Amino acid sequence: MIGEEPSNIRTREAAERDFIVRALRAVDVSESDANDVANVLVAADLRGVESHGIARLDMFYVRRIEAGVVNARPQYTALSDRPTQFALDAGNGLGHPAGIFAMRKTIEKARENGLAFATVRNSNHYGIAAYYAMMALEHGLIGLSMTNSTHLAVPTFGRQKTQGTNPIAVAIPAGEHAPYVLDMATTGVTFGRLEVSERKGKQLKPGWAVDAEGRETLDATTAMTKGALLPLGGYGTDNGGHKGYGLGALVEILCGVLSGGLFGTSLGLDERGLHGGTVSHFFGAFRVDALRDGDAFRRDLDRQLRTFEDSAPSPGADRVVIAGEPERAFTERYRREGVPIDPKVWDGIDEMAKRLNIDKLERFTVG
Amino acid sequence: MIGEEPSNIRTREAAERDFIVRALRAVDVSESDANDVANVLVAADLRGVESHGIARLDMFYVRRIEAGVVNARPQYTALSDRPTQFALDAGNGLGHPAGIFAMRKTIEKARENGLAFATVRNSNHYGIAAYYAMMALEHGLIGLSMTNSTHLAVPTFGRQKTQGTNPIAVAIPAGEHAPYVLDMATTGVTFGRLEVSERKGKQLKPGWAVDAEGRETLDATTAMTKGALLPLGGYGTDNGGHKGYGLGALVEILCGVLSGGLFGTSLGLDERGLHGGTVSHFFGAFRVDALRDGDAFRRDLDRQLRTFEDSAPSPGADRVVIAGEPERAFTERYRREGVPIDPKVWDGIDEMAKRLNIDKLERFTVG
């Protein structure tokens, strides 16, 4: 979790991947789809985005399949398939295979025709947005990924939840330098950040959340139970809250409305507190070398990124960091030291393993 | 100016347009290019974005041409011209005609091939980003416009200016509802906001600016003379400052680096304090009906936008507002009541008219 020391109970990347596949196979997900989900969840844990990794496997994916609100064996329908566009109905299947399928199509079309966009509707939670944008990198393409999500945030001047954390991810291939990978919720913070504050008994920062009436609140429990998140830029317009709201609404339009999926009213829970088929995604890919010599671009991007890195830090800061860099550092570290999993999450996945009658995930302790 | 009552010394839209054309013709700009600049500047003043309207005519455009740092008669070079891509070298000409030229190409290609992107390098300040994105609307397309700009902002954890206010604009056509038009600087506030605070003797808000050492400052003069703007999300990472920085860097990459233009080091002033040919733009357009039936999309977007408008307001707020709505209201009002121009700006343009030996801009007083 952000701002916390990683758990010293670890597992290995390969073991985690294998465990996730076994869990999903146990609820009738195909081998290929289970592999897709495992790849995205393991990538999240490796990148230090624990909230989007194996922590969600049971509640978000396995249980929703068991409850019949997400289809283990969805039927995909191509709604549009043109040289530079692809629109998919994901048949209320898992979001990760749908996202990977659509992004592969987008990449294929972009390689052939320079650039391409895709929408996916009737899908489910797809994990970290960056995963799909980064798929473009190995093809030398710029990748784009967005998703709408359960409504947790108010608009500027509002008290009703009208949008989710609605992330935007962009990945741009560099030369010798690591790629530029931006993956940002369009809210100021995510719900996970409120959870951490509550667990630690700490007040929220101004600009993070509102209470049920839409007034700013610093109380984590109030924000989580009755309130809502604020857009990036915070309360009102003084610090650009309307910009975060505007970006979140943009994601809502490009995903929910442009795909023909659900939008507008809360992407809500059913009577059992479970979601299904309510989420839509938007993907893009484009070729750099259609606009400019690819080698020259990559060399110049290296220089641009080094300009950021080499610029003088503010007092108390080590140095200026580039988008995607912390996640890359986590990945290297956790590949070496093992993937940390929170003790509470360990309890949950052990219980799930027992319920599904599969072998437990192997673990070891560090430190 | 933002947060101030509009000046009661007004002019008419047509008179303003005509005056701008005459001023630019006097420094040898072609009729067609002068018309382009006039259209963008008048649109800015009508939309209530006074900082980007006629207020900049003399200092940003006329004087730079007189000083020879911007070409009145630029030679355009197409660097790439493909079915879905266009890359232009604008020959160090004015940014507005270059932007309009490139956006027209982008629209043409998007109409034919579903979507298109364009870069423009070796250009100059192009005014409001929204203008170019909105050009797509009359063709039923979604439009995108970004530009890098003079470096005025620090990155998160930094003290050196590495990026400009780097705006992102997106325009999306609706049905009966007015279009969705987002036009946002990726900094928390613009430089103009600091100027207003200084003029009014008011402290800045936290999250707006830093001093020369990269420490947060609430003093407008310090921020303006020695300091810098902060990214959207403010100081550090607590409120997502790294997201604003990440978006600003993205604009820097898609404009400066992808176009093959200037990037990396400050887009600086020459020894006379003047700029030229240092700015790059990025444009996009795409067809809705390639992904989904256009009528269904527009009908659903109407519903989505009404969902925002109809959602309950927070205490003290009238209602939830949609991106582009305030600018549309200003336009209607100023078309009716005349375009307000600040008394200081009037002095400047009168002086310029005298210098250029052209008729003064007609004015009238309201209230």
Is residue B120 in a domain? yes
- d(Cα B141, Cα B100) in Å, to the nearest integer? 15
Do residues B120 and B92 make contact, with C-beta atoms less than 8 angstroms apart?
Answer: no
- d(Cα B211, Cα B194) in Å, to the nearest integer? 13
Residue that has been written with the tokens 């009208």 in this structure: A162
Q: pLDDT category, A64, cuts 50, 70, 90?
A: very high
- Partners of residue A188 in chain B, C-beta under 8 Å: 233, 239-240
Nearest chain B CA: its distance from A332 CA (Å): 22
> For B301, which of A114, A257, A314 is closest by C-beta distance?
A257
Contact A315 B213 (CB under 8 A): yes
Is residue A243 in a domain? yes
pLDDT for A267 beyond 80: no
Higher pLDDT, A276 or A68: A68
Residue-wise DSSP of A75-134: PPEEEEEETTEEEEE-TT--HHHHHHHHHHHHHHHHHHHSEEEEEEEEE---S-HHHHHH
- d(Cα A52, Cα A56) in Å, to the nearest integer? 6
Is residue A127 in a domain? yes
To test the contact with chain A by mutation, choose from B151, B196, B307 the residue with the greatest count of A C-beta atoms within 10 A, namely B307
pLDDT by position in tens, chain B (length 367): 445 689 999 999 999 999 999 999 999 999 999 999 999 999 999 999 998 999 999 999 999 999 999 999 999 999 999 999 999 999 999 999 999 999 999 999 999 999 999 999 999 999 999 999 999 999 999 999 999 998 999 999 999 999 999 999 999 999 999 999 999 999 999 998 998 899 889 999 999 999 999 999 999 999 999 999 999 999 999 999 999 999 999 999 999 999 999 887 656 555 555 566 789 999 999 999 999 999 999 999 999 999 999 999 999 999 999 999 999 999 999 999 999 999 999 999 999 999 999 999 999 999 8
pTM: 0.96
Nearest chain B CA: its distance from A323 CA (Å): 6
Question: What are the phi and psi torsion angles at A310 (to 5°)?
Answer: -85, -5
Contact A297 B188 (CB under 8 A): no
Contact A84 B113 (CB under 8 A): yes
> For B240, which of A188, A315, A323 is closest by C-beta distance?
A188
Nearest chain A CA: its distance from B307 CA (Å): 6
Do residues A91 and A124 make contact, with C-beta atoms less than 8 angstroms apart?
Answer: no
Give the CATH number of the domain where residue A32 resides.
1.10.1530.10
Torsion, CA B168, CA B174, CA B176, CA B179, rounded to 10: 10
Do residues B252 and B230 make contact, with C-beta atoms less than 8 angstroms apart?
Answer: no
Which one-letter DSSP state was computed for residue B216?
B
The amino acid occupying position A265 is T
A298 in the same domain as A235: yes
- Partners of residue B320 in chain A, C-beta under 8 Å: 155-158, 162
- Partners of residue B204 in chain A, C-beta under 8 Å: none
Residue where a domain stops, chosen among B209, B229, B249: B229
Is residue A197 in a domain? no
Higher pLDDT, B58 or A267: B58
Q: B286 pairs with which residues across the strands?
A: B115, B142
Do residues B126 and B282 make contact, with C-beta atoms less than 8 angstroms apart?
Answer: no
A84 in the same domain as A61: no
CB crowding B226-258: b at 16 or more within 10 Å, else e: ebbbbbbbbbbbbbbbbbbbbbbbbbbbbbbbb
- Chain B residue at shortest CA distance from A238: B205
Contact B115 A119 (CB under 8 A): no
A120 in the same domain as A171: yes
**How many A/B residue pairs have CB atoms within 8 Å?**
275
B289 in the same domain as B209: no
Q: Which of A239, A217, A73, A178 is nearest to B244 (CA)?
A: A239
Share of chain A residues as helix, strand and coil, in percent rounded to the nearest 5: 40, 15, 40
Is residue B322 in a domain? no
Do residues A334 and A45 make contact, with C-beta atoms less than 8 angstroms apart?
Answer: yes
B179 in the same domain as B196: no
Do residues A251 and B291 make contact, with C-beta atoms less than 8 angstroms apart?
Answer: no
Higher pLDDT, A269 or B58: B58
Do residues B40 and B26 make contact, with C-beta atoms less than 8 angstroms apart?
Answer: no
Is residue B334 in a domain? no
- d(Cα B162, Cα B265) in Å, to the nearest integer? 7
Give the CATH number of the domain where residue A82 resides.
3.30.1370.60
Per-residue pLDDT at A337: 96
Per-residue pLDDT at B273: 55
Is residue B316 in a domain? no
Residue-wise DSSP of A184-214: E-SBSS-HHHHHHHHHHTPPPPTTSEE-TTS
Q: Residue ranges of the alpha helices (H) in B201-265?
A: 220-225, 241-252
Could you read off the pLDDT of A153-199 as tens digits, one per residue? 999 999 999 999 999 999 999 999 999 999 999 999 999 899 889 98
Per-residue pLDDT at A265: 67
- d(Cα A120, Cα A77) in Å, to the nearest integer? 10
Is residue B271 in a domain? yes
Residue A138 neighbours by CB under 8 Å, 6+ apart: none
Q: What is the CA radius of gyration of chain B?
A: 20
Q: What is the mean pLDDT of chain A?
A: 94
Higher pLDDT, A30 or A263: A30
Number of structural domains chain A divides into: 2
Higher pLDDT, B275 or A142: A142
B366 in the same domain as B293: no
> For A257, which of B189, B304, B321 is closest by C-beta distance?
B304
A260 in the same domain as A115: yes
B86 in the same domain as B59: no
B194 in the same domain as B141: no
A50 in the same domain as A152: no
- d(Cα A187, Cα A162) in Å, to the nearest integer? 12
A344 in the same domain as A273: no
Residue A296 neighbours by CB under 8 Å, 6+ apart: B260
Total residue length of chain B: 367
Nearest chain A CA: its distance from B236 CA (Å): 9
Q: pLDDT category, A1, cuts 50, 70, 90?
A: very low
Complex-level ipTM beyond the 0.90 threshold: yes
A21 in the same domain as A60: yes
To test the contact with chain B by mutation, choose from A320, A322, A327 the residue with the greatest count of B C-beta atoms within 10 A, namely A320
Tell me the residue range of the domain where A175 lies: 74-188+230-310
pLDDT for A269 beyond 50: yes
Nearest chain A CA: its distance from B115 CA (Å): 7
> For A159, which of B155, B292, B312 is closest by C-beta distance?
B312
pLDDT for A12 beyond 90: yes
